[in-house]
Structure 1
Amino acid sequence: MTKISFGIRVPNSGPLSGVENIARTARKAEELGFDSVFVHDHVVWSTEMHRHHISSGAHEALADDQSADFYEALTVIGYLAAVTSRVQLGIACLVMPTRNPIYAAKQLATLDHLSGGRLIAGVGLGSKASHSSNEFDVFEVDFKQRANLTDEYIDAMRAIWTQPLATYKGRHLSFEDAEIYPKPLQRPHPPIWVGGWTDYAARRTGRAGDGWVPGWLSPKEMARGAEIVRETAAEHGRDPGAITIAVEKLAVIKRDRDAALERAIPTVRTSSTTYERDVDDISFALDRHIFGSVDDVKRRVEEFVEAGVTHFELKLIYPSIDDLEEQMTLWADEILPLYQD
């Protein structure tokens, strides 16, 4: 039986972001038996996006005096490596076109050592959020070139990780005989998970990724995308079965369905125009995320598992860290045992 794993997004951004809350969430996830904790990435972030793209926390936690705090992803991973001992540590996902891939490769290799080989290196093109917050403009990166840059940067990082004297030649980046150490602790390198919900992202995963982690896809859409991943992997002589099919899901679990929807809907509506796919009505989100009672959540998780998903990165919606811990505990008590050996 394929192992089904579950991870928790920690609040490195959003209305409840902060060092204490990041550490508290990660430690609690490890204590409860979750398999991983995740951060996400933007360097440039705006007050407007802070109020309308809530990836950690909830609409109810917003306050007028909050700054748009967004703790840098790789730095946070290094911190979490020291305050946890078992859970995998993932980034979903680095905005790859705004990162120097040579420097990023060295940072990620270092983090793999600091974490004892627990790193998951998620990479993505950059989303509507990065465009709306002017992130690409600040870095002077052509938004239209983000796919080509990401493809090259993935290959360049892999060259650095696997070649004693690394050489790479591309359209946007070239280097020769670069001696860069340490090599990652995981061999040949940390798993590269590719973000993005499009067919192009699925094909990128099949060609160059070790995992696919889209958001905003229904079970039916996930099944189709997973098939594209597998077909592309086979075309490139890779083992389709070795690629993790993950999902990034907004989630609320409560004993009562109405209470769960009451918690979820305001935050979904607040964020309705800031994701890669606009939310025209709440039914669109309900078909793509995981909200409801324990029985609802069991059913929804199984729908995604049947579609080929083997990992869930959960972006729980919570107005306080106490509420987050309550939901994590309920998930650990009711959902995790269904998928443990």
Structure 2
Amino acid sequence: MAEVSFGVRVPNSGPLSSVANITRAATEAEEMGFDSIFLHDHVVWSTAMHRHHISSGAHEALADDQSADFYEALTTIGYLAAKTSSVRIGVACLVMPTRNPIYAAKQLATLDHLTGGRLIAGVGLGSKASKESSEFDVFGVPFSARARMTDEYVEAMRAIWTQPLASYSGRYIEFKDAEIFPKPLQDKGPDVWVGGWTDAAARRTGRLGDGWVPGWLSPAEMGRGAAIVRETAQEYDRDPDNITIAVEKLTVIDTDHDAAMARAVPTVATSSKTYERDVDQIQFALDRHIFGSVDAVQRRVEEFVEAGVTHFELKFIYPTMDELTRQMELWASEILPKYR
């Protein structure tokens, strides 16, 4: 069986986002034996998304006087590199079309050194921050071109990471004989994980990625997507066994199943108010995420593992940091040992 690893999303956004809480979540995850910590990325955010797209924290932690704080991912990784020593640190995912790939390649190479080769560079097409506020409009990036731009930007970054005098020619980015150092500490650069839950994202992973990290997919849907990744990799003469199949999953774990569900449902329900997805029935989310008693969580993890998943990025639902600690301790004592 392939090795299975587990990571924790830290609160660089959401109702509990702060430097202190980011640091606490990261250091505790490392101490408890989790394999990775993850941040996510947007530069432009919105009050609406702050209230309805909760990737860290819980619905109950929202307050009327909160601002839509979202700590920038790459600078925060640099900070966490000095606060941790062994846990891998990733971003899932950079909104790649809004990042200059030459500068991003330099930043990521530097972060690879600062983390001691622990960096995972997730990339995605990105989505609008809200119906009213578009990150792409702010950056002057054509929304319709974001897929092509992401492909080119990943290729351009890899050229910078691997060529002494780097050159690349595409529709959206072009440069010649760019001497950019340091090269990343990891051979050929940090792993590039592709975000997105569409077939196109799975195919992009097979062509370009070292990992696939979708969100709202069921075990059956993950199995289908993993097959697309493998088939595409083989078409491009790449080894599919070298590609990580990961998932982002909201999770609540408790010794009591009903208590876990009572914690999960209010936050999951806020997704019905997010334009990104149509969650008219709570069962849609329950079929795709990981909630419940220890036994229920173990069963759901196994369903994803059987579908080909080898890494879990866990987005715990917690109204306080103490509750996050309690759930991470339970996961670390009851779930992690089964995969060690």
* TM-score normalised by structure 2 residue count: 0.98
> For structure 1, which segment, 131-140 or 35-44, has the greater mean C-alpha deviation from structure 2 after superposition?
131-140
Q: Does 1:175 align with 2:175?
A: yes
Q: Distance in 2 between matches of 1:272 and 1:132?
A: 17
Structure 2 segments unaligned to the other structure (5+ residues): none
Correspondence for 1:122: 122
Asked if 2 retains the 8 angstrom alpha-carbon contact of 1:202 and 1:226, the reply is yes
Determine the structure 1 residue equivalent to 2:36: 36
Structure 1 residue 271 corresponds to structure 2 residue 266: no
Task: Measure how far apart 1:164 and its partner are.
Answer: 0.4
* Maintained 8 Å contact 1:46/1:133: yes
- Once the two structures are TM-superposed, the CA of residue 272 in structure 1 deviates from its matched residue by 2.1
Helix, strand or coil for the counterpart of 2:272?
coil
**1:94–1:122 Cα contact (<8 Å) kept:** yes
Q: CA deviation at 1:49?
A: 1.1
CA distance 1:226–1:130, change in 2 (3 Å): farther
Residues 119-198 of structure 1 mapped to structure 2, 5 A cutoff: 119-129=119-129, 133-198=133-198
Write the distance in 2 (CA, Å) between the matches of 1:141 and 1:131. Answer: 16
Which position in structure 2 is the counterpart of 1:324?
Answer: 324
Residue 173 of structure 1, CA deviation: 0.8
| TM-aligned CA deviation for residue 129 of structure 1 | 3.8
Distance 1:193 1:289 in 2: 20
The answer to whether the Cα contact below 8 Å between 2:206 and 2:229 also exists between their aligned partners in 1 is: yes
- Tell me the distance in 1 between the aligned counterparts of 2:253 and 2:129: 26
Hey, what does 1:334 align to over in structure 2?
A: 334
Matches within 5 A, 1:161-310: 161-274=161-274, 276-310=276-310
Which structure 1 residue ranges, 4+ long, deviate > 4 Å from structure 2?
Answer: none
Shift of 1:102: 0.4
| Alpha-carbon distance change, 223 to 276 in structure 1, aligned in 2, over 3 angstroms | farther
With over 3 angstroms needed to count, the CA separation of the structure-2 counterparts of 1:107 and 1:23, relative to structure 1, is same
Deviations 1:291-330 (A, max 9, x none): 0000000000000000000000000000000000000000
Q: How many angstroms apart in 1 are the aligned matches of 2:275 and 2:27?
A: 29
Instruction: Report the Cα offset of residue 134 of structure 1.
Output: 1.4
Contact 1:35 1:87 in 2 (8 A): yes
Once the two structures are TM-superposed, the CA of residue 262 in structure 1 deviates from its matched residue by 0.6
> Residues 225-270 of structure 1: CA distance to partner in whole angstroms, max 9, x if unpaired?
0000000000000001000000000000011111111111111111
Q: Could you tell me how far apart the structure 2 residues matched to 1:228 and 1:95 are?
A: 23
Partner of 2:303, secondary structure, is helix
Task: Tell me the matched-pair count.
Answer: 340
Q: Is the 8 A contact 2:46 2:130 kept in 1?
A: no
The two structures have a TM-score, normalised by structure 1, of: 0.98
- What does residue range 103-118 of structure 1 map to in structure 2 within 5 Å? 103-118=103-118
Give, in angstroms, the shift of residue 132 of structure 1: 5.5
Uncovered stretches (5+) of structure 1, i.e. residues with no partner: none
Give the CA deviation at 1:131. 6.2
Secondary structure (helix, strand or coil) at the match of 1:194 reads strand
Could you tell me how far apart the structure 1 residues matched to 2:244 and 2:146 are? 23
Secondary structure of 1:232 counterpart: helix
| 2:60 counterpart residue number | 60
Distance 2:131 2:230 in 1: 30
SS at match of 1:271: helix
1: distance between equivalents of 2:2 and 2:173?
Answer: 38
Q: Identity percentage over the alignment?
A: 77
Distance (Å, rounded) in 1 between the aligned partners of 2:254 and 2:293: 5
Asked if 1 retains the 8 angstrom alpha-carbon contact of 2:128 and 2:136, the reply is: no
1:16-36 CA distances to partner (integer Å, 9 max, x unpaired)? Answer: 000000000000000000000
Q: Give the root-mean-square deviation of aligned CA atoms.
A: 1.0
